[in-house]
């Protein structure tokens, strides 16, 4: 066999490209997560940061990405709605939420999906027995972008009683429409009544920015939660918020924000590469170091 007929090493042009589209994306941890999996699985691929300004022609950007060989991308602030509008096809969750966090470029088409909610539920399932939260009421604090995905995911997961509270009640009201066709009773609660609303809940989720580095702390009395309840803070900087500290002190199950971050990424990775990546403690430790939390 002449050298020309032998196996050729993969060329850079054959390397699958994926990345995260956002503005800013400088501080995104997604490259660390995805490139760790790419290395671990020995894939010929690379995950990049793709800064795209808010006023860019978003569909045009995606077409260029397809042309230069991208397999897909994650989408973050402020482009999740732009990605929803630009996609040729959507999965049911993205269609319902009006927001896309995962794009797959396949056979010349742009397919949009949303793995945020399923990633959130996977993080809960990785940390707690399903019975501890699925069969009890849940209380969600906040009404931002992440809240929408979490609300729908909890209803899809079978939670039948969801209480939603936000400082600005009017921002929470439109979220009810997202679950009106699902078998769930969802009620908006005044922010001041949040401690009462926590009575008998098996799950409390903080989706507000309260407790983040640089933000005021969250004032939340969790004494009404059920024994063995799950408390999830989607904040991951700091990793251990006051809320999670209080949950641990009360012998509840505390789930930090890395759970959702890693699990939504795993579902995007599977969309592009057809393989579910390993979620292990090493990756978590790398993220903790990268976040400067240790």
Phi, psi dihedrals of residue 73, rounded to the nearest 5°: -160, 155
Could you give the CA distance from residue 90 to residue 103 in angstroms, rounded to a whole number?
9
Supply the Cα-derived Rg of the chain in whole angstroms: 20
CB of 255 closer than 8 Å to CB of 127: yes
**Alpha carbons within 13 A on the beta-carbon side of 263:** 19
Residues numbered 114 to 143 that lie near ligand ATR (CB under 6 A) are 142-143
Closest approach, Cβ 180 to ligand ATR, in A, equals: 21
Residue 73 in contact with ligand ATR, rule: CB under 6 A: no
Residue 240 in contact with ligand ATR, rule: CB under 6 A: no
User: Distances from the Cα of 243 to the Cαs of 20, 224, 267, in angstroms?
Assistant: 30, 14, 27
Closest approach, Cβ 164 to ligand ATR, in A, equals: 10
SS3 171: helix
Could you give the CA distance from residue 221 to residue 104 in angstroms, rounded to a whole number?
42
Residue 167 in contact with ligand ATR, rule: CB under 6 A: yes
Instruction: Pick from 51, 78, 98, 145 the residue near ligand ATR by CB under 6 A.
Output: 145
Closest approach, Cβ 143 to ligand ATR, in A, equals: 5
> What are 247's two structure tokens?
């949950």
Residue 150 in contact with ligand ATR, rule: CB under 6 A: no
- Residue 113 CA, chain-centre distance (Å), reads 12
Catalytic residue flag (residue 80): yes
Residue 188 in contact with ligand ATR, rule: CB under 6 A: no
Residue 144 in contact with ligand ATR, rule: CB under 6 A: yes
- Closest CB to ligand ATR among 107 and 192? 192
Residue 237 in contact with ligand ATR, rule: CB under 6 A: no
Q: Catalog residues that contact ligand ATR under the rule CB under 6 A.
A: 142-146, 166-168, 171, 208-210, 216
Catalytic residues: 80
């Amino acid at each position: 066999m002449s050298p020309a007929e032998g196996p050729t090493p993969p060329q850079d042009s054959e390397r699958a490209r994926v990345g995260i589209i956002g503005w800013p994306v400088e501080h995104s941890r997604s490259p660390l997560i995805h490139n760790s999996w790419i290395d671990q699985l020995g894939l010929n691929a690379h995950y990049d940061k793709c800064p795209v300004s808010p006023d860019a022609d978003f569909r045009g950007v995606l077409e260029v990405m397809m042309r230069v060989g991208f397999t897909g991308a994650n989408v973050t602030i402020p482009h999740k709605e732009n990605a929803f509008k630009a996609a040729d096809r959507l999965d049911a969750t993205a269609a319902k939420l009006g927001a896309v966090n995962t794009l797959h470029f396949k056979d010349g088409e742009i397919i949009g999906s949303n793995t945020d909610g399923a990633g959130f539920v996977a993080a809960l399932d990785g940390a707690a027995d399903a019975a501890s939260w699925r069969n009890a009421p849940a209380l969600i604090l906040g009404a931002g972008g992440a809240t929408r995905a979490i609300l729908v995911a909890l209803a899809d997961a079978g939670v039948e009683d969801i209480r939603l509270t936000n400082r600005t009640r009017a921002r929470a009201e439109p979220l009810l429409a997202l679950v009106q066709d699902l078998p769930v009773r969802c009620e908006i609660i005044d922010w001041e009544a949040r401690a009462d609303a926590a009575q008998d809940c098996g799950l409390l989720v903080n989706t507000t920015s309260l407790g983040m580095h640089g933000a005021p702390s969250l004032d939340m009395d969790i004494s009404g939660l059920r024994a063995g309840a799950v408390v999830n803070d989607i904040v991951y900087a700091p990793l251990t918020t006051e809320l999670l500290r209080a949950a641990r002190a009360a012998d509840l199950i505390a789930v930090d924000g890395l759970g959702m971050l890693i699990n939504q990424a795993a579902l995007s990775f599977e969309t592009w590469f057809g393989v579910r990546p390993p979620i292990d403690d090493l990756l978590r430790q790398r993220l903790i170091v990268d976040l400067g939390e240790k």
